[in-house]
Amino acid sequence: MSQAKVHAVLDAASVIPVLTLHDVAKAAPLAEALAAGGLRVIEMTLRTDCALEAMAEMKRAVPELYVGMGTLRNPDDVKASVDAGADFLVSPGLTPALAKAMLECDVAGLPGVSTASEAMSAKAMGFEALKFFPAEQSGGAPWLKSIAGPLPDIRFCPTGSISEDLAPSYLALPNVACVGGSWITPAKAIEAGEWSQITENAKRAQSLKPR
């Protein structure tokens, strides 16, 4: 795994929309709407049969976007995502087999952790940036603030029940590179094709990251 690629994704991100798509036809216009709002990084979730195809469609529609795949649980998920062209990989947790697969591929990886011990183990394996998940349920911004002292060399992307109102408290922390959130792309807005609403949501989300 290229650490340079990991940091390139994080440096390009502010709020990462976390998407679950059920219709490939929505992929291209959704990517275009998010890009129009100024967002450069998108996380698809491997929770539907069309997820891999939808990710590929997003990348074709807006090549300058970083489009990654999340909810990876095993090496087969890693291989399928890499083969489909994922720019980065995200997992809810980390097993030895999953860690090996993520580290051996030439794609940025953000494995999920929720405790100090898990973060230390992932760092020892070779990961410099981690997904903090589920963020709100695992201690939220106060946990990340407290961990910055003993673990100053780890960057985090917290995800899990983070709302538009909560995001600024995370983004203000020095060890938080970006946050993941689903409020930018409500399921009803995607289903109805309300792309202008999603673009406006993306603009607000982009403005939340301190400059």
Helix (H, G, I), strand (E, B), or coil: what is residue 164? coil
Is residue 164 classed exposed, middle or buried when 0-12, 13-18 and 19+ CB atoms within 10 A define those classes? Answer: middle
Q: Would you state the torsion angle of the CA atoms of residues 22, 27, 30, 32, taken in this order, to the nearest 10 degrees? A: 180
Of the residues 43, 79, 188, 194, only one is catalytic, namely: 43
Of 90, 21, 104, residue with least CA distance to 56: 21
Q: Which residue has the tokens 């502010």?
A: 14
The number of residues making up the chain comes to: 211
Active site residue 59: no
Of the residues 26, 57, 59, 131, only one is catalytic, namely: 131
Active site residue 194: no
The answer to whether 52 touches 27, Cβ cutoff 8 Å, is no
Query: Concatenated DSSP letters for 61-115?
Result: H-TTSEEEEE---SHHHHHHHHHTT-SEEE-SS--HHHHHHHHHSSSEEE-EE-S
The answer to whether 57 touches 27, Cβ cutoff 8 Å, is yes
* Residues annotated as catalytic (active site), given as ranges: 43, 131
